[in-house]
Amino acid sequence: MENTRVIVSKFGGPEVLKIIREPLRMPQKNEIRVKVLSSGVALGDVMRREGVFPFPPTLPFTPGYDAIGIVDEPGSDVNQLSKGDKVAVFFNGTGGYATYVYAKEDEVTAIPADIDPVLGVAVTLNYVTAYQMLHRFAKVSEGDRILIHGASGGTGTALLELGKLAKLKMFGTASSAKHEIVLKYGAVPIDYREEDFVQVLRNQAPEGMDAVFDPIGGENYNRSLQTLNENGRCIVYGYTSVLEKRNSSNWSNEWKQIAENEKAQGGNPQSLYTITGLKKERLDWFREDLQIVFSLLKEGKIKPIIAEKIPLTEAARAQQLLEKSKAIGKVVLTNES
């Protein structure tokens, strides 16, 4: 038996993604071998591939935060999981693009056997991220006004759907072609290409936003602050603007400043959210919130949008969909064998 794995051989464009095949090995102590059914694709994967993510991984590496699969071989000291269990796997940003993965016990969580693996992987990263930002960080209440940037993406649509469940008043930036999906969740769409979202919100919601969720950073972050009310919180959870300005050298310093300062320049509270950082600090929260979103999925209260299902061996095409902002919802890699 062999493993098929995607690796980043050097930093650069989609062409640096390579497919390798290697023999399977037995899991080591406190390790579980999981046969992967589906893997998630995220913009963080693209940023790591480009070498612009903070503390980029050592080359070569396999991209991928998350996967859904079946326990294929538990290590000798693994007691909580058995062969055949369906599980969600969550790594610290690398490892998911493979037909088999080796994960530690704290990276694996048992999930219901009847969960569809494509829908399951769609909620593992994106919906836990959205849930934690809404409820752990922003602590939203019914009727709160929120602004969601990148509202048509994987995390954006998760914020919209969970925000609708929480009965929030939502505004979402997206290109005009994607406004239908924003409207679907009862949010007000704003065309970020043709409209000034700051001015739109001043006209439509002069009371200001109670929370803004910004995965873009840079100038977008500075303008997001202008939309907040006196106590409104800005939550930054990405810095994708660096992909458009590849010579930008200040973004990591700005990211650090946001992380270190609980208040923005104007005095509004702000947070820098990373799911991997919070998981490291509060594994109990991650496990609790993962089970909450899987319960919502099982009960039919959330229905993640799948942009496209793509074979693992076409990972480069999957990443290009995200880079070119062509995807609505989650892009998922599948293993058909």
Across the strands, what pairs with 19?
6
Contact status, residue 328 vs residue 156, Cβ threshold 8 Å = no
Query: In this structure, are residues 85 and 27 in contact, taking their beta carbons and an 8 Å threshold?
Result: no
Q: Going from the N-terminus, what domains does the chain have, and what CATH number goes with each?
A: 2-123+296-334 (3.90.180.10), 141-273 (3.40.50.720)
Using DSSP bridges, classify how beta strands 209-214 and 228-236 pair: parallel, antiparallel or unpaired: parallel
Who contacts 250 (Cβ-Cβ below 8 Å, separation ≥6)?
A: none
The per-residue pLDDT string of the chain (337 residues; one tens digit each, 9 = 90 and over) reads 899 999 999 999 999 999 999 999 999 988 999 999 999 999 899 999 998 887 789 999 999 999 999 999 999 888 889 999 999 999 999 999 999 999 999 999 999 999 999 999 999 999 999 999 999 999 999 999 999 999 998 999 999 999 999 999 999 999 999 999 999 999 999 999 899 999 999 999 999 999 999 998 888 989 999 999 999 999 999 877 666 654 455 666 776 788 788 888 888 999 999 999 999 999 999 999 999 999 999 999 999 999 999 999 999 999 999 888 778 889 999 997 5
pLDDT at position 247: 44
66: nearest Cα among 21, 25, 111:
111
Per-residue pLDDT at 258? 81
Burial class (CB in 10 A: 0-12, 13-18, 19+), 53: buried
Is there a contact between 134 and 162 (Cβ–Cβ < 8 Å)?
A: yes
pLDDT at 242: 67
**DSSP state, 135?**
I
**List of residues 6+ apart from 49 with CB closer than 8 A:** 8, 11, 12, 13, 14, 16, 17, 63, 319
pLDDT at position 218 = 82
DSSP H/E element including 130: helix 126-131
**CB crowding 319-335: b at 16 or more within 10 Å, else e:** bbbbbebebbbbbbbbb
pLDDT at residue 251 in the model = 64
Q: What is the pTM of this model?
A: 0.93
The dihedrals phi and psi of 240, each to the nearest 5 degrees, come to -70, -15
Stretch (H or E) spanning 334: strand 330-334
